[in-house]
Amino acid sequence: MEGKKVIVIHGYTASPDNHWFNWLKDELEALGATVDIPTMPESDSPDPQKWEQCLLDANIQFDENTILVGHSLGCITALRFLENHAPEGAKIGGYVLVSGFDRTLDTMPDLAAHTQFSLDYSKLIGMSDKRASIVSSNDWAVDSATSIELAKSLQTSITVVENAGHFLDREGFTRLPALLSLLKFWY
């Protein structure tokens, strides 16, 4: 992971201090990576333009050392950011989607503004050979079928974690070994 820059994008109602984010940061930094977990604005009532601007303000490089990790709403945010701002033909180090979705969810209709436009799957596939989805078998917030559908659209690998809920700290997810193992396997 030496020289890699990992950007972790949290989701709805979350912050950089929630769930498994700081654990991942500590683990990856111990392996030589640089990790940034931007505080996405107003996460209780997220605006897609403000979230995209937050990532623009983070000066993320579109190069083969950059890896994006999204959780829940952070997934569509990362994908939309790549789609809208990466130069044509840009290659990044990879992206991982944890409980990803790209359509309106019955469980979180407030997030519909984030998914009102279709993604350019072919552009997103072309940005990296390292694309992965991590899905819970019993996700109550983002149905696993929805995450798998997105994974298939993006031709990502799929890792299913049994009974992981929505990968939240209150569900016991202060660590996410499947994600760390995946990143170590890549690099």
Which residues carry out catalysis?
72, 139, 166
Angle subtended at Cα 105 by Cα 103 and Cα 108, rounded to the nearest 5 degrees:
130
- The region that residue 7 occupies, defined by phi over 0 for left and psi between -120 and 50 for alpha, beta otherwise, is beta
CA–CA separation, 127 and 121 (whole Å): 10
Which stretches of the chain are assigned E, i.e. beta strand? 5-9, 34-36, 66-71, 94-98, 131-136, 157-161
